[in-house]
Amino acid sequence: MPVQTFNPDRELLIAALQALRPPVLILTRPEELKPYECDGLSAYRRLPLVVVLPETIEQVQAILQICHTQKVPVVARGAGTGLSGGALPHEQGVLLSLAKFTKILDINPKRRTATVQPGVRNLAITQAVDHLGLYYAPDPSSQIACTIGGNVAENSGGVHCLKYGLTVHNILQIKLVTIEGELLTIGSHSLDSPGYDLLALMTGSEGMLGVIVEVTVKLLPKPERVQVLLAAFDDVIKAGAAVGAIISAGIIPAGLEMMDGPAIQAAEAFAQAGYPTEAAAILLCELDGTHAEVSEQLLRVHEILIKSAATEVRTAKDAQERAILWKGRKSAFPAVGRISPDYYCMDGTIPRKHLPQVLQAIHEFSQEFELAVANVFHAGDGNLHPLILFDANQPGQLERAEAFGGKILELCVAVGGTITGEHGVGMEKINQMCAQFNRLELTQFHAVKAAFDPEGLLNPGKAVPTLQRCAEFGALHVHQGQLPHADLERF
């Protein structure tokens, strides 16, 4: 499959967009395009040909029809908080911003649903239904800024997905515009819909199959009580074992997070959460449910943590202390940003039992590449966020950080995990897709793409690598847990 090239006529494109009635906001001057040059992964930057900011579904349809007719690539963008370069513009394309779609269209307490435009922020949904005793469960750490359209495109998770699932588990219906400008309603307000589960297929499809213009989410009742425990360990392996022990005891915490020494120290310096800075690892365990349920589980988790050789177990006394404990965890990224000029956030997921080996290997990679690393980990569901510290101003460091990150992801695949748990493939992990999937599987993905977008105009070059790219990358598909560079002995 050849790498696609696009040669749209910029003047013709702008003329067609300007002819739309009612008029659509179009940005064309370099200084106007600049704010759109990257998303949350700022290592990759490009300017699009134009940025358009439609306000209605009809305008989105018209824009896509123009792009389809003129063979112009289209990259959809929500808040631009994504961490994998999924919203990185195409130099020959239109950057379609959904930023003006900020209306909450309907809140239905009886159905426990909210229907919103794609530019509505994740947290704004919860805030809008708070008075009804309801909330929207997925809570990516960027929830204050990230938008629901982007959440659907990335199948976002968050701290609470161990118990409450990912975006795919928490939406009922989307409206989507195809590259041909057709409006599709996918899913329904019922719990299931006839035909193929296109809702699942679209969730996490990274803007490759259509543009999401409306989302109906499920709302959950707010738990009666929430409680947080902090446990400190003198060894990350013991902390990992404690996670397994809690889950084996039949308890599914609402959140179960781990941080290692460097992450604890950075977070403490930044947020003064009262973390034990001498600990090798801490676990934060959130329990929620009814009063009785939380009381029972608190006792049991406390006991398990002590048995798992925690050096300290603390229960937040009140909502304020709970918020402070979480603040440390939630500010881990900016905290690391303060101690290092740059950091590179990874997103692999592994079966939890492999945690000790993977952490050991990350430690060894850290020495090999001479770059420090801080580990933040959604421990309950095995989603690792190693933060590789580097300085982009030092020659070669960015390349070393990327190579280090690539090694971590390939290791995640080798132990039966995945290269991305919740941040998406985007531009960033396109090469590692060649490690996770073989050519037949990638070909099947391309066929799915072609079912919706045969000309490959939606977000070209992202999410699924061409076979040619994999060949150039060195095609290190990992099969049956065997890396071609059989270096599994290292752990």
Partner 1 sequence: MSEDLSQALQAQVQAAYAQGRTLDIQAGKSKTWYGNPTEGEILAVAGHSGILNYEPSELVITARAGTRLTELEATLAAHGQCLAFEPPHFAETATLGGTIASNFSGPARPYLGAARDFVLGCKLINGQGEILQFGGQVMKNVAGYDVSRLMAGALGTLGVLLELSLRVIPKPETELTLVNTLSTTDMLQQANHSARLPLPLSGFAYLDGQAYIRLSGTEGAVKQASAFIGGTALAAGTNFWLSLREQQLAFFQTTEPLWRLSLPADTGVLELAGSTLYDWGGAQRWLVSNLDALQIRNTVAEYGGHATLFRRSSEPTPVSPSVFQSLTPELMHYHRQLKQAFDPKGLFNPNRLYLGL
Alpha-carbon span 186 to 171, nearest angstrom: 11
Q: In the complex with partner 1, which residue's Cβ is closer, 162 or 359?
A: 162
Q: Work out whether 201 is an interface residue with partner 1 (CB under 8 A).
A: yes
Interface with partner 1 (CB under 8 A), residue from 278, 370, 399, 441? 441
451 near partner 1 (CB under 8 A): yes
Are residues 316 and 228 in contact, defined by beta-carbon separation less than 8 angstroms? yes
Rounded CA-CA distance 52/71 in Å is: 16
**How far is 159 from 254, CA to CA, in rounded Å?**
8
- The site map against partner 1 for 124-143 (x = CB under 8 A) is --------xxx---------
Using rule CB under 8 A, residue 482 touches partner 1: no
- Candidates 199, 211, 217; CA nearest to 54 is 211
Q: Tell me how far, at minimum, the Cβ of 251 lies from partner 1, in Å.
A: 7
Bridge partners, residue 173, by sequence: 187, 216
Site for partner 1 in 226-285 (CB under 8 A): 244-245, 247-248, 250-252
Minimum distance, C-beta of residue 436 to partner 1, in the bound complex (Å): 5
Select from 56-64, 204-212, 310-318, 357-365 the region that touches partner 1 (CB under 8 A).
204-212
463 makes contact with partner 1 (CB under 8 A): yes
- Minimal CA–CA distance to 93: which of 119, 133, 64? 64
Does 296 engage in binding with partner 1 (CB under 8 A)?
yes
**140 or 328: whose CB is closer to partner 1?**
140
List Cβ neighbours of 225 (8 Å cut-off, separation of 6 or more): 288, 289, 290, 291, 294
Q: Provide the residue type at 114 as one letter.
A: A
Binding mask 409-428 vs partner 1 (x if CB under 8 A, - otherwise)? -------xxxxxxxxxx---
Q: Which two tokens stand for residue 46?
A: 């490009």
For residue 41 the two structure tokens come to: 């992964």
Alpha-carbon span 143 to 127, nearest angstrom: 11
- Round to whole Å and give the CA distance between 71 and 85: 22
Question: Using the rule CB under 8 A, is 205 a contact of partner 1?
Answer: yes
Q: Report whether 393 contacts 341 (CB < 8 A).
A: yes
Q: Which of residues 93-122 bind partner 1 (CB under 8 A)?
A: 108-112
CA-based nearest residue to 302, from 290, 316, 291, 319: 316
Q: Cα–Cα–Cα angle for 420, 330, 35, nearest 5°?
A: 70
Of 18-26, 34-42, 92-100, 202-210, the window that binds partner 1 (rule: CB under 8 A) is: 202-210
From the CB of 7, what's the least distance to partner 1, in Å?
27
What are 398's two structure tokens?
Answer: 């960015």
Applying CB under 8 A, does 181 fall inside the site for partner 1? no
Q: Is 307 in the site for partner 1 (CB under 8 A)?
A: no
Cβ-based nearer residue to partner 1, 257 or 381: 381
> Site mask, partner 1, residues 160-179, x = CB under 8 A?
-xx--xx-xx----------
**CA dihedral angle for residue 343, residue 347, residue 348, residue 352, rounded to 10 degrees:** 100
Binding to partner 1, residues 43-102 (CB under 8 A)? none
Is residue 379 within the footprint of partner 1 (CB under 8 A)?
Answer: no
CA atoms within 13 A on the CB side of 404: 28
Looking at residues 349 to 368 of the shown chain, list those that interact with partner 1 (rule: CB under 8 A): 349-353
Report the residue from 48, 85, 255, 382 that binds partner 1 according to the rule CB under 8 A.
382
Taking CB under 8 A as the rule, does residue 455 contact partner 1? Answer: no
Distance CA 314, CA 99 (A): 42
Window 213-232: contact mask with partner 1 (x via CB under 8 A): --------xxxx--------
Q: Is residue 193 within the footprint of partner 1 (CB under 8 A)? A: yes
Q: Judged by CB under 8 A, how many residues of this single chain contact partner 1?
A: 93
What's at 148, amino acid-wise?
A: I
Q: Nearest distance from residue 34's CB to partner 1, in Å?
A: 29
What gap in Å lies between CA 414 and CA 180, rounded to an integer? 40
Stretch that binds partner 1, among 1-9, 288-296, 367-375, 386-394 (CB under 8 A): 288-296
Q: Measure the CA–CA gap between 72 and 67, rounded to whole angstroms.
A: 5
Residue among 447 and 486 whose Cβ is closer to partner 1: 447
Of 30, 194, 395, 396, the one binding partner 1 by CB under 8 A: 194
